[in-house]
A = this chain, B = another copy of it.
């Protein structure tokens, strides 16, 4: 097991040194400080090889994604990421693999000034668990439970590309090479909407990041907020790559149920709409209004202003929960 001890050296070479980290990697615990007017947000996500990423995924993409899915949760709370702890289980020690994995982890950490403060390295089937923390002004955080009837429903970026890449991997969909490149990048290197999340803190009534699929995650907001929603299918943002390679119905299915988008889904009341759109104009992502919250406690969809039925595991999951 000695070689597993030595892996720690890979994780001490990071560039980020935050002032609020009093003691970093190398003791029984890390020690951090927060100021009196801050709250701390905490999230944990595990990626298992073959379950959360295809077995052939590059180590850099695995490292990036393990950090990104956690920062995406921090973004959905409107917080600023600060520290991560990394637990990695590896079948064997491979220096090249680790070096590439670390470059994926540290590039994203450096971009957002996030410091790796500790973790654990163990031998076993490949999996990565990251606990990420972030800071937010006291009492100022977004949650899933604040959506009100009449609020507008927005989403960042385009939806469905990661799901398209995944279906291509499973050989369920054949797509052209230039399309693959774009959607593969969306699957492997999702961009957590960290700046958008912080900008939304003052304006959104509820927020979540889309990991399970638009309908499933909208279901989580509706359930937590005790409301319903209508989604305008013609408004769902789709990438050019998606539009080129898939017909409208398949595109919308991927966007509604695919998941792995790591875009933010959020609600804003009428009074905050203009302020939010202005604030988000510098957050590095387009936003699209895709519907509205209503009191129905169900999710409906419309196309060309006409109601259309939903075929979706995401929605069934939500409605099943509502009926218990």
Interface residues, chain A, with chain B CB atoms under 8 Å away: 2, 5, 22-23, 26-36, 38-46, 48-52, 73-74, 76-77, 79, 83, 85-87, 89, 117-120, 122-125, 127, 129, 131, 133-134, 136, 138-139, 141, 143-145, 207-209, 224, 317
With a cutoff of 8 Å between Cβ atoms, the chain B residues found around residue A22 in the complex are 39, 139
* Known contacts A129-B120, A131-B85, A141-B23; A32 and B42 CB within 8 A of each other: yes
CB atoms of B124 and A2 under 8 A apart: no
With a cutoff of 8 Å between Cβ atoms, the chain B residues found around residue A144 in the complex are 26-28
Alpha-carbon gap, A73 to B23, bound state (A): 14
CB atoms of A29 and B46 under 8 A apart: no
* Known contacts A2-B317, A127-B89; A40 and B35 CB within 8 A of each other: no
* Known contacts A39-B33, A77-B27; A44 and B87 CB within 8 A of each other: yes
Chain B residue at minimum C-beta to C-beta distance from A45 = B120
Alpha-carbon gap, A22 to B137, bound state (A): 13
With a cutoff of 8 Å between Cβ atoms, the chain B residues found around residue A28 in the complex are 43, 73-74, 76-77, 143-144, 207-209
CB atoms of A143 and B44 under 8 A apart: no
| 27 A-B contact pairs sorted by A residue (CB < 8 Å) | A5-B317, A22-B39, A22-B139, A23-B143, A26-B224, A27-B77, A27-B144, A27-B145, A28-B76, A28-B208, A28-B209, A29-B76, A29-B77, A30-B41, A32-B40, A32-B42, A35-B36, A42-B131, A46-B120, A48-B122, A50-B124, A51-B123, A87-B129, A122-B127, A124-B125, A125-B125, A131-B131
CB atoms of B125 and A224 under 8 A apart: no
Q: Which 10 A-B pairs have the closest CB atoms?
A: A36-B36, A29-B41, A131-B131, A48-B124, A28-B76, A129-B129, A44-B85, A28-B73, A29-B43, A87-B129
